[in-house]
Homo-oligomer: A and B are copies of this chain.
């Protein structure tokens, strides 16, 4: 496959598809991209999709790969930690890491996507078409069936290989499922909770109404509100709440009065920042939160799922975009190490190395749902975080919390981060519960005990065949 003039068809020009188009364009392939939506550089199509996202080291590794680190940095607002708001309006900042240089970023989905599209189109060998919806993929013949939204015309495109980056509702994945030509393992799992976007607008002077450089959380056990800053001084706010359970839920928040009552009771300091609450609440849709896993991602050397189409996850680890960007990095590495291989070998190798990690981040994201809405408000978890912050600060080379392993250690796969991170959490929580360690102890002692206990936990699981 030395012939770089091969034709690659990419379905979907969202974050993953536009980055992939750019990278494959840089590598010399003939890349054609079809996107169902209009060009977001010319039309406002934010409705229904989250406006801002958390961007961190795994995503940045991909951005470095395509040479856009500086341009992307200009779009970023650093968030150093979680600003936790209790019911009385008290706040405290819980840093994401004990190392000052480790933080996550709030970034606008639209701005980032626009940049990637523009950079991809700078390559003569990359063409992007908008308003063309993929209806199905004939994976036996490597062709895709599209409809033009404007003219309603339908047409078929073929290619040497088709890569679908068309998100959680992927047309290719649906064709795999409905085709029944091979054993296709597939799962869609919804949380009992949904979400709704709200907003904190800037002050009249365009300033931020609350602390800018944090991800704000109002954890309430069974539900929560979060807020991420935007460059224009506003915050995008998201309410995560059960559809049907609890005293207040999406099914019964049906009038302005009851919505206001709910926020007055549970989030009084947030309500003060949101005079526009009721309008937002009834204008914006309530959306479900789902996880999609499937296997195989590829059919022979013909077609491949990448990004959310292969592994849609819930947003609670801030890793959805980062995982999709990391897909492109991993795929690029397989292209490097398999220069003369056919697409079947490349797709097989990519899936084999990648799937265990995307399965892991899907599970971690669900864990973090419970951590954010509930655990962050509990004393023992707060004590654990304090110890971990201190360890990371004092021994920056020797300790990384689960959060750091997942978020700031882009050279460790998600699965390894999950296994080690969970074992560390278990070690610290149990040693705290048993009085074996306390925050007042010598830090070096704590570090040694945590390391020893973590290894013991990993070893015990291994002997029992659990990892």
**Measuring CB to CB, which residues of chain A are less than 8 angstroms from any residue of chain B?**
183-190, 243, 288, 290, 293, 370, 375, 422, 425-426, 429-430, 433, 460-461, 463-466
Contact of A187 among B189, B288, B464 (CB under 8 A): B189
Chain B residues within an 8 Å CB radius of A188: 184-187
C-alpha gap A466/B433 in the complex (Å): 15
Chain B residues within an 8 Å CB radius of A461: 426
C-alpha gap A466/B466 in the complex (Å): 13
Q: Whose C-beta in chain B lies nearest to the C-beta of A456?
A: B430
Q: How far is the CB of A242 from chain B (nearest CB, A)?
A: 12
C-alpha gap A131/B430 in the complex (Å): 59
Q: How far is the CB of A181 from chain B (nearest CB, A)?
A: 13
C-alpha gap A293/B189 in the complex (Å): 10
Chain B residues within an 8 Å CB radius of A426: 460-461, 463-464, 466
Q: Whose C-beta in chain B lies nearest to the C-beta of A371?
A: B465
Chain B residues within an 8 Å CB radius of A422: 464, 466
Q: Whose C-beta in chain B lies nearest to the C-beta of A188?
A: B186
Q: How far is the CB of A429 from chain B (nearest CB, A)?
A: 5
C-alpha gap A130/B73 in the complex (Å): 68
Chain B residues within an 8 Å CB radius of A243: 183
C-alpha gap A282/B382 in the complex (Å): 63
Q: How far is the CB of A186 from chain B (nearest CB, A)?
A: 6
C-alpha gap A175/B243 in the complex (Å): 22
Contact of A463 among B184, B187, B190, B429 (CB under 8 A): B429
A-B contact pairs, 28 of them (CB 8 A): A183-B190, A183-B243, A183-B288, A183-B290, A184-B190, A185-B187, A185-B188, A185-B189, A185-B190, A186-B187, A186-B188, A186-B189, A187-B187, A187-B188, A370-B465, A422-B464, A422-B466, A425-B464, A426-B460, A426-B461, A426-B463, A426-B464, A429-B463, A429-B464, A429-B465, A430-B463, A430-B464, A433-B463
